[in-house]
């Protein structure tokens, strides 16, 4: 399969491109600079520019583009960048797909989204049928997903990948925490009662491949593990896996000082379940938090079939 990918240079995109190539797929990366090889195509999502020829040649499109949510302090300027980088990239691809003749369109668009769609769910379990919540990330997810609608209206299968928190020590949620935990400075955030929608990186990669192959799956799909944990449980389990104490607590006020507006999102509770993946028979390699964390830090303990 020839796959056109946006966001291939990010943490998840790098891992996904490597996985798909190892599975025999041909990956073409969209880049916002002059190309450096035949596997790259230049585009400018901020101005809606993409070469239709690269879409005609593609069997599938995967869009992971967007500024990192936790990469910088949430100033008004950076919040605008978080939103525009997602909406611009998605809209550029979706509109370009719609403009193509039906026979030239890719068969599927796997569009990145996030569990931020649900806002703060408290202790309430939610699946893909739940409405959007409130808050900045919920608002971003609404317009982000809506930007993919032209491709869906054109008859292309669109799967909206509402990703949780992939676990790997070299990126995402765990990367900034690992040094602190290894020094015995692991701490729960705020009360620790908020739910964390984690997923093992391997399972996230498997799920994306699953969605590429399952032509009966459309619409939102929660890419999360089957057993969300509270932040307190997450903290205890990571300490256990690393053989370090994790007894500290970071007060909410301290997070607001350090992170600004992002602190509100970090303290939100998201008890999100993978309804679609479970209904369609997806098999997790790391269905428990402890197994996923052990895999994330290099102790492989996959589920026994």
Condensed to tens digits (0 to 9), the pLDDT of residues 110-151 reads: 999 999 999 999 999 999 999 999 999 999 999 999 999 999
Number of domain units in the chain: 1
Tokens of 149: 């609608």
Q: Are β-strands 108-114 and 60-63 bridged in parallel, bridged antiparallel, or unpaired?
A: parallel
Q: What distance in Å separates the CA atoms of residue 45 and residue 147, rounded to the nearest whole number?
A: 12
CATH number at residue 40: 3.40.50.720
Q: pLDDT > 70: what percent of the chain? A: 93
Considering only residues 177 and 263, tell me which one the structure prediction assigns the higher pLDDT: 177
Are residues 124 and 268 in contact, defined by beta-carbon separation less than 8 angstroms?
no
Are residues 119 and 132 in contact, defined by beta-carbon separation less than 8 angstroms?
yes
Q: What distance in Å separates the CA atoms of residue 95 and residue 143, rounded to the nearest whole number?
A: 15
157-173 average pLDDT score: 94
Which runs of consecutive H residues, i.e. helices, occur in 43-147? Answer: 52-56, 76-99, 136-146
284-300 average pLDDT score: 93
Q: What distance in Å separates the CA atoms of residue 293 and residue 238, rounded to the nearest whole number?
A: 7
Q: Give the residue from 72, 66, 258 showing the smallest Cα distance to 163.
A: 66
Instruction: Specify if 99 maps to a domain.
Output: yes
- Mean pLDDT check: name the lowest of 30-39, 124-133, 174-183, 202-211: 174-183
Q: Is a pLDDT exceeding 70 seen at residue 253?
A: no
Q: Give the residue from 106, 105, 88 showing the smallest Cα distance to 32.
A: 88
Instruction: Specify if 76 maps to a domain.
Output: yes
Q: What domain range is 277 assigned to?
A: 2-168+197-224+271-284
Are residues 239 and 92 in contact, defined by beta-carbon separation less than 8 angstroms?
no
Instruction: Specify if 187 maps to a domain.
Output: no
Q: Give the residue from 2, 15, 3, 1 showing the smallest Cα distance to 207.
A: 15
279-296 average pLDDT score: 97
169-192 average pLDDT score: 86
* pLDDT of the residue at 151: 98
- Mean pLDDT check: name the lowest of 28-37, 108-117, 183-192, 203-212: 183-192
What integer best gives the mean pLDDT of the chain? 91
> Which residues, at least 6 apart from 20, have a Cβ–Cβ distance to it below 8 Å?
3, 27, 209
Instruction: Specify if 54 maps to a domain.
Output: yes
Q: Which helix (H) or strand (E) holds 189?
A: strand 187-189
Query: Per DSSP, which regions of 38-82 are E strands?
Result: 40-42, 60-63
Rounded to a whole number of angstroms, the distance between the first and last alpha carbons of the chain is: 29
3-state secondary structure of 45: helix
pLDDT in tens, 197-220: 999 999 999 999 999 999 999 999
Instruction: Specify if 21 maps to a domain.
Output: yes
* pLDDT of the residue at 304: 45
Q: What distance in Å separates the CA atoms of residue 171 and residue 259, rounded to the nearest whole number?
A: 18
Q: Is a pLDDT exceeding 60 seen at residue 259?
A: no
Are residues 39 and 47 in contact, defined by beta-carbon separation less than 8 angstroms?
no
155-160 average pLDDT score: 98
Are residues 187 and 246 in contact, defined by beta-carbon separation less than 8 angstroms?
yes
Instruction: Specify if 57 maps to a domain.
Output: yes
Q: Which helix (H) or strand (E) holds 5?
A: strand 2-6
* pLDDT of the residue at 256: 45
> Which residues, at least 6 apart from 231, have a Cβ–Cβ distance to it below 8 Å?
188, 189, 190, 192, 193, 194, 195, 196
pLDDT in tens, 61-89: 999 999 988 778 788 999 999 999 999 99
Where on the phi/psi map is residue 178: left (φ > 0), alpha (ψ -120 to 50), or beta? Answer: alpha
- Band (pLDDT 50/70/90 cuts) for residue 254 is very low
172-182 average pLDDT score: 86
Instruction: Specify if 53 maps to a domain.
Output: yes
Instruction: Specify if 49 maps to a domain.
Output: yes
């Amino acid at each position: 399969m020839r796959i056109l990918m946006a966001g291939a240079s990010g943490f998840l995109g790098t891992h996904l491109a490597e996985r798909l190539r190892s599975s025999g797929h041909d990956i073409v990366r969209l880049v916002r600079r002059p190309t450096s090889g035949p596997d790259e195509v230049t585009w400018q999502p901020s101005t809606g520019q993409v070469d239709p020829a690269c879409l005609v040649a593609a069997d599938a499109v995967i869009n992971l583009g967007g500024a990192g949510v936790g990469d910088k302090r949430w100033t008004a300027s950076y919040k605008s960048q978080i939103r525009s980088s997602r909406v611009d990239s998605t809209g550029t691809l979706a509109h370009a797909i719609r403009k193509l003749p039906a026979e030239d369109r890719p068969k599927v668009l796997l569009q990145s989204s996030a569990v931020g769609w649900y806002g703060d769910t408290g202790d309430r379990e939610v699946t893909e049928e739940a409405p959007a919540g409130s808050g900045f990330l919920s608002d971003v997810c609404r317009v982000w997903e809506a930007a993919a609608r032209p491709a869906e209206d054109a008859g292309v299968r669109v799967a909206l990948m509402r990703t949780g928190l992939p676990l790997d020590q070299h990126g995402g949620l765990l990367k900034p925490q690992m040094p602190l935990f290894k020094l015995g400075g692991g701490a729960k955030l705020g009360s620790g009662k908020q739910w964390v929608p984690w997923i093992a990186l391997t399972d996230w990669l498997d799920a994306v491949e699953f969605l590429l192959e399952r032509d009966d799956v459309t619409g939102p799909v929660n890419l999360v593990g089957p057993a969300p944990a509270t932040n307190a449980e997450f903290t205890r389990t990571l300490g256990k896996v690393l053989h370090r104490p994790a007894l500290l607590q970071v007060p909410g006020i301290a997070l607001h000082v350090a992170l600004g507006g992002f602190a509100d999102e970090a303290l939100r509770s998201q008890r999100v379940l993978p309804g679609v993946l479970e209904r369609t028979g997806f098999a997790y390699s790391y269905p428990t938090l402890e197994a996923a964390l052990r895999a994330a830090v290099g102790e492989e303990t996959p589920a026994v079939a």
